[in-house]
Structure 1
Amino acid sequence: MVSRFRHVALVGKYQAQGIGGVLLDIAHFFDRRGIEVSLDADTALATGITDFPALKPAQLGERCDLAVVVGGDGTMLGTARQFAVHGVPLIGINQGRLGFITDISVNQFAQALEPMIDGDFVEERRTMLEGKVWRDGRSIFESFAVNDIVVSRGGTASMVELKIDIGDEFVANLRADGLILGSPTGSTAYALSAGGPILHPSIAGWVLVPIAPHDLSNRPIVLPDSVDTVIEIVAGREISVNFDMQTLASLLHGDRVVIRRSPHGVRFLHPLGWSYYATLRRKLHWHSGTS
C-alpha cells in the first residue's frame, strides 16, 4: 500500500539524553518506506544528526505533510504553535511517561506508525487561543497558545487586580494571584491544578480560572469561544502574561490582553483505538481502586 504521507518533519526534545539515537531510528523507519524525512534545524544541530536535511520550522511547515514530535507534551505544544498555521498534522512519541497529547510510547513507535502512515488513524482537531497585548492603543505583543494564556503576579509581588470583559459585557474586577484562560486542551494543565473543570476537546469553549482569588466567591467559569475575552491590568506589580509559558514581563496598569479563538487549529493523529477518556483514566489515575 502506498503511504498516505510523502514528507515527514521530525522534531525532538533535543535536550533529552539519548534522543539522537531514537530520532535516527524513527527517521530510518520512514526512509525505508520511501517517505522523505527532514529534521527540525535546532534538533539536528543539538544532536549532531547530518543524515537528513535540516530545515527551519517555517520551511518544514511549507514542505511537509506530517510532523512527528519526540518528547513530552511541552515539546508538542511548541511544535503545534509553529505548525498549526500550515495545517500540518502531528503525531506525538513520548520517551517517558505518556502525556495527554504525546500518546505513543517510544518502545512501540514502529508498531504504532506502520498502520498510521497507511491512513489508519484517529484524527483529532483542537482549538487554539490567540492573544494580543494592547498598550496606549497599539499592539505590543501577540502570540498563539495551545494550552492557556495566564496573567499573573511576580514571585515576590502582592495580588493583582484585573478587570474582565467578555464580549461587550463587563464581568468582574478580580483580585488574585492571577488568572488563567485555558482551551479544552489546557483544561487538564495549569487550569486543572487551580481548580478548574475539564473540558472535552469537542466543546467550543474556554475555562476562566482565578488563581488563589481574594474572594472565595470568584469561581472558575466556562465561556463560549465565540467572543473576545479582555483582561485589563488595574493594579499590582511585576505582572506578566504567559502564552503556553512564553512570557512577556512588565505589564503596566491599563494594559489590555485581548484573547480570541485562533483561526488556526491543531491536528493530532492517534493510533486506531485511541480514546480521550482512556487518556484521562491513565493520566489522572481514575482506574485506582478497580480490580
Structure 2
Amino acid sequence: MPKVGIIFNDIKPAACEVADLWRQKLMDLGYPVQMATGAGGLLGYSRPERPLCHASIESLVPTGFDEGMLFAVVLGGDGTVLSAFRQVAPAGIPLLTVNTGHMGFLTEAYLNQMPQAIEQVLQGNYEIEDRAMVAVKLFHEERLIWEALCLNEMVIHREPLTSMCHFEVTVGHHSPVDIAADGVIISTPTGSTAYSLSAGGPVITPGVPVTQLTPICPHSLASRGLVFPDTELVSITSANPDPLVMVVDGNAGCYVLPGDRVQTQRALYPARFIRLRPPEFFRVLREKLGWGLPHIAKPTSVELP
C-alpha cells in the first residue's frame, strides 16, 4: 500500500482532532500514514542580533514524505497550505487542501466534505493542477545566506515605520530600474490575489507563465506594476543605508542588509494541488473575493410622488 501524509495546523484544536481521526481511519483501510505539522515549513524570522536562520529549500521535507507517498492531506487555513507546500514541493507530493480556517482561498474542500473528498482521491478520481512557485535567495557578498520557496509572494520593506525606500531592480538581461516606494512585491499568478492585489496589482489567472512586480505605495507615476515572463531572473538591491526586512508568504523572513542582493526565479518544484473537479478560477474569485458579482439592476423609470 502507498503511504498517505497528513499535515495539520497544531495550534488549531479542530485540525488536531481531525488529523488524529483520519490517521486512524486511513490506517484501518491499510494505508501507512505519516504525520507532520505545518510548523515545519515556518522558517522563522531573523533578528538584528541573529540575522540568519538559513535552512536549504530541500531540507524542509518531513521524514517519511517521499516518492512512496500517494498524496497528503493539509488541514488548516491558507497559511498552513503555504507552509505545507514549502515542505513537500521538493518531493513532488500532491496535496488535498482542507479548510479549517477562515478565507481558505487556496483550499479545495471544507471539513464537512472531507469523507467524500478522501474517498474520491483514494479512488483516483481527481486531477492535479501544478502551480508555479518562486525560489527566493539572499546573497551577502555573493555568498548564499538564506533561501526559501514561495507560492504567493516575496516582499521587501522597511521597518519599523513605513517610509520611502529606493530599490534597484534588474529583470533578466534588461537595464536596472530604480523604484522609490515603501516596498516591492514579487508574486506568482497564485499570489496575484494576495498582497499584490491589495497593493493595486492585477489578478493573473493560474497557468499563465509570468511573474509580477508590484511597488507598494510608489512615490512616482512612473513606478507601476510590471508583468514579465517567469523565465526571467530578478535581482533586487537596496539603495538605503538601513536594513530592510524580507518576508516570504507572510510566514518566513530575514533581514536584508545594505549591499545584500535578493534574487528570485521560478522554482524547479511546482505546488501540486489535488482538484476534485476541474479547476474553475473565476468561480473561486467570485465565491471568495466577490469578483464579477452582478450589479443590482437600476430602475428604468422613476415614479414621482
Both structures adopt the same fold (TM-score exceeding 0.5): yes
Match of 1:68 in 2: 73
Match of 1:257 in 2: 262
TM-score by length of structure 2 reads 0.84
- Partners of 2:8 and 2:37 within 8 A in 1: no
Residue 58 (str. 1) matches residue 54 (str. 2): no
Match of 1:25 in 2: 21
Residue 150 (str. 1) matches residue 129 (str. 2): no
By how many angstroms is 1:159 displaced? 1.4
Residue 10 (str. 1) matches residue 9 (str. 2): no
- Runs of at least 5 residues in structure 2 that lack an aligned partner in the other structure: 40-59, 297-305
**Percent identical:** 31
By how many angstroms is 1:41 displaced? 6.0
* Paired amino acid for 1:162: F
- Partners of 1:158 and 1:236 within 8 A in 2: no
Could you tell me how far apart the structure 2 residues matched to 1:137 and 1:35 are?
46
Q: Which moved more, 1:208-217 or 1:272-281?
A: 272-281
- Residues 1-291 of structure 1: matches in 2 within 5 Å? 6-40=2-36, 57-62=61-66, 63-97=68-102, 99-156=104-161, 158-235=163-240, 237-245=242-250, 246-249=252-255, 251-286=256-291, 288-289=293-294
What is the aligned-residue RMSD (CA, Å)? 2.0
- Partners of 2:38 and 2:80 within 8 A in 1: no
Could you tell me how far apart the structure 1 residues matched to 2:292 and 2:175 are?
42
By how many angstroms is 1:148 displaced? 1.0
- Runs of at least 5 residues in structure 1 that lack an aligned partner in the other structure: 44-55
Could you tell me how far apart the structure 2 residues matched to 1:192 and 1:57 are?
30
By how many angstroms is 1:60 displaced? 3.0
Could you tell me how far apart the structure 2 residues matched to 1:204 and 1:90 are?
21
**What secondary structure sits across from 2:128 in the alignment?**
strand
Could you tell me how far apart the structure 2 residues matched to 1:241 and 1:127 are?
20
**What secondary structure sits across from 1:60 in the alignment?**
coil
Post-superposition CA distance 1:95-146 (Å, at most 9, x none): 2445222120001100122112111112100111112112222222122111
Distance 1:57 1:228, change over 3 A: closer
* Paired amino acid for 2:134: L
* Paired amino acid for 2:142: G
By how many angstroms is 1:160 displaced? 1.1
**What secondary structure sits across from 1:65 in the alignment?**
strand
TM-score by length of structure 1 reads 0.88
* Paired amino acid for 1:173: D
Could you tell me how far apart the structure 1 residues matched to 2:166 and 2:291 are?
36
By how many angstroms is 1:248 displaced? 0.4
- Partners of 1:131 and 1:257 within 8 A in 2: yes
Higher strand share: 1
